[in-house]
Amino acid sequence: MTEVVVGVAGTLSSERAVHWAGEQAAARGAELVLVHAVGRPRAGYGEVWEEAVRAGVREMLEREAERVCAAVPDLKARTEIDLETPARSLTERSAGAALVVVGTRRLGPTQRVFSGSLAYQVVAGAQCPVAVVPPLTRPAADRVVVGTDGSAESAAAVRAAAVEAARTGGVLDVVHAWQEASVLWAVRVPPDLGSATHAHARAVLEAASAGLEEEHPGLEVRRRLVETDPAGALLAAADSARLLVVGSRGLHGVSRMLLGSTSHAVVLHSPCPVLVERG
């Protein structure tokens, strides 16, 4: 049976992530695995520490499992305690999971400068799609937003977003952001450069969203061509959305840690849950 893995911390943001993960697991016919990673104890405190921590953690996990199973019909769930760090636990489990879900909290300006948050580490290191669920701030419309840039990674994101929107009968917003290419002042700029760039952007958007209505009958697809930076366009479109989907390169090792500025920005700042789909 496929698994949806969710990190559990016993906080309000974690509770929302658990509920969101439970809905995803039920929709996919998957088992929900609630994981709390406690890390390894200091030398000499192993037995006492493990007994005390496991008792409290087990109670917290069972409480969270009961809550989500009561809220999501026909959900199958189990709980697990891990002695690894949270980031390592979730990234390792991503190798056999269909989806990993992690909650996050609002970051201050200083904290946003650094990418060491749990959510960012899991997104960067996971081998499967990862959903980052922020605290609930406002009622969400049944609308899924996806960004495309014409790459294979964004094509995978568009497909995943279409499935999510069609599952609930929602609207799919396909967004492509474009900007005129910068040129040196000494170079003569062709008079039709702007219109040519716009036409190319339009072609990218049309190609990325072609055939979605045929693949998902009844799905309403809205195509948005926006002249701005990609991260800004997606964050603006995600306001009041149910889900934002972005693509990320399926690399390995150190290269996998470089998500790119767009994915980095939306993971840290999105007003709604973000699904990072692997290419």
Measured CA to CA, the distance from residue 177 to residue 113 in angstroms comes to: 24
Residue linked to tokens 């967004």: 175
Same domain, 20 and 34: yes
Residue 73 neighbours by CB under 8 Å, 6+ apart: 26
Domain end position, chosen among 109, 136, 163: 136
Measured CA to CA, the distance from residue 275 to residue 136 in angstroms comes to: 16
Per-residue b or e along 131-144, where b marks 16 or more CB atoms closer than 10 Å to that residue's CB? bbbbebeeebeebb
Domain end position, chosen among 101, 136, 171: 136
CATH code for the domain in which residue 41 is found: 3.40.50.620
Chain segment 112-138, per-residue pLDDT in tens: 444 447 888 898 889 999 999 987 656
Q: What angle do the packed helices 118-125 and 86-93 form, to 10 degrees?
A: 30
More confident residue, 259 or 143: 143
Same domain, 203 and 181: yes
Chain segment 95-105, per-residue pLDDT in tens: 999 999 999 86
* Number of structural domains in the chain: 2
Residue type, 48: V
Percent of the chain at pLDDT exceeding 70 = 78
**Mean pLDDT rounded to a whole number for the chain:** 83
Residue linked to tokens 């390792």: 92
Q: What angle do the packed helices 46-71 and 12-28 form, to 10 degrees?
A: 60
